Each structure stands twice: as structure tokens, then as C-alpha cells.
Amino acid sequence: MSYTVLIPARMGSQRLPGKPLADIHGKPMIQRVFEQTRLSNASRTVVATDDQAIFDSVIGFGGEVVMTGSHHISGTDRLAEACDILQIPADTTIVNVQGDEPLIPPVCIDQVAKDLQQSSCDMATLCQPLTEQAHWHEPNVVKVVRNQRQEALYFSRASIPFERSAPARRGEVAALAECYRHVGIYAYSAGFLREFVSWGACHLEQTEKLEQLRALYHGARIMACVADVLIPPGIDTADDLCKVRQILAKKDGK
């Protein structure tokens, strides 16, 4: 199995500005993410950024990085440009690993690449069973509903599927059966990635602020298998960063 990991990274996060370079026990976050990908079976990992400080940081720790334009509205658009700059062939499998996932399990990076290559779908992603009612009602926790072939039917910030028989309980689902949290890691061919960005945002994507809905809107198929191991949340806020520092402090023995 051969595939390339691309990591989009930018400094302009609204909730945690400059987070790719946030220090986590002596290493910037982007280095932590990069090192996790190198523990997978990926043949190559490249960071795609529009920021000179991130570029210099990656060069400094010995990673591969490409400078893209600053006009991109999403990480996916940035990766499409990176594919063009690197002249990656259309049939190459690309795994998009977010630059704020320093705890991403390497086995899950391999899994999503394998899921794509062994299916006839255009994209592959991962999900995990929801185990807390509070998360089912949380808009920042993206939910996915799948068919019997484990393909995504829809992604939403809303509570889906909605149990109509329990309206008094705000649609809570008994035991949260068949309720899944989407995990934002993607695999696709470089050719499909270029086609995806050429479509532009659709109204569903703009409404929910979920890029993957663009693929479904245009009839693409997305494999959404349950992750082989638990995937810790990424870092969106200063509180998230503190939690990850605590986790890695124990792992690093600090």
C-alpha cells in the first residue's frame, strides 16, 4: 500500500491563533503531527502552508514542506495546489491529516488509505460511535449517518438520526445506537482532489460549514468506516491544547 500524507497548516485560526507552532513539550504542534504520520506506512509526508514561520519550522526539524498561496478558503484547496506544485500523479492516494491532530493514531492513517484503495468510493473517512448524549446535541461534534455498505449518507452538526418517538427528550436516542461522530481525516486520489476543488462550495456545505457535503452533493461516494482505535480530539482551543500537553507529558515522561 503506497500513499502520500499532506498536512494543511495555517496560522490564522480564530479560536487559537498561531496554533501550528504552539509548543508542546519542546516541539511545535506541526512537528508532533508530522512525526505521527511518519509512524504510519505513508511513503511521503508533506506540509502545505502559506506562512513563512511554519515553513521555516518544518525545514528546521527536517520535514518536507511546500509553500502555497494565501488565497485559499480551506485546507482542501491548499492541498490541491500542493499536489500541482509537487506534480503528484492523478492516481496517487492522498491522505489529508489536519495540522491540529498531534495525537492522531498512525494505524488510523493507514486505515483510511486502505479503506479507499479497497473500495470503489471516491473518498474515505472515519467515524466513531457516539457514547455521550451531550456530544450528540453539540454542534461542534459532527455526526454522520451511513448506509449498510458503510458509505456516508449525510453529515450534519444537527442530532442525526433523530428519534421521532422521543420528542420530549429532545430526540435522544436510546443507547445512542447507530450514532456516529465523524473524524476529520480523508483519503482520496490526487485526481479526485483536483476535481473536488473545481466544483466550488455548494449550498449544503455553506449552510452546515462542512466541506464533505460538497462531495455528496455532486454524487461522490464516501466510505465512512469505524476507526480501528479511538482517535483523540484535535486542538481547537487553548483548553484543548492544555489537555494534549497533559497527555503527552505522561507519554514523554515529563
CB proximity list for 71: less than 8 A, separation 6 or greater = none
pTM of the shown model: 0.93
- pLDDT at res. 169: 54
Calculate mean pLDDT across residues 169-196: 82
Sign of CA dihedral 219, 98, 241, 130: positive
Q: C-alpha angle with apex 133: 127 to 136, nearest 5 degrees?
A: 45
136 vs 64, more confident? 64
> For the segment 116-128, what is each residue's pLDDT rounded down to a tens digit?
999 999 999 999 9
Residue-averaged pLDDT of the chain: 91
Q: What band does 176 get if pLDDT is binned at 50, 70 and 90?
A: low
**Which amino acid belongs to residue 209?**
K
> For the segment 144-168, what is each residue's pLDDT rounded down to a tens digit?
999 999 999 999 999 888 776 655 4
Report the SS3 class of residue 252. Answer: helix
Report the SS3 class of residue 24. Answer: strand
- What whole-number distance in Å separates Cα of residue 106 and Cα of residue 113? 11
Delineate the domains of the chain, giving CATH numbers in brackets.
4-231 (3.90.550.10)
- pLDDT at res. 73: 84
Is the predicted pLDDT of residue 17 greater than 80, yes or no? Answer: yes
Helix 29-38 vs helix 106-117: angle between axes, to the nearest 10 degrees?
Answer: 60
Cell, residue 50: 502559506
Percentage of residues of the chain with pLDDT beyond 90: 72
Cis peptide before 20 (omega within 30 of 0): no
Calculate mean pLDDT across residues 65-80: 91
* Short-list 86, 79, 100, 95, CA closest to 31: 100
Percentage of residues of the chain with pLDDT beyond 70: 93
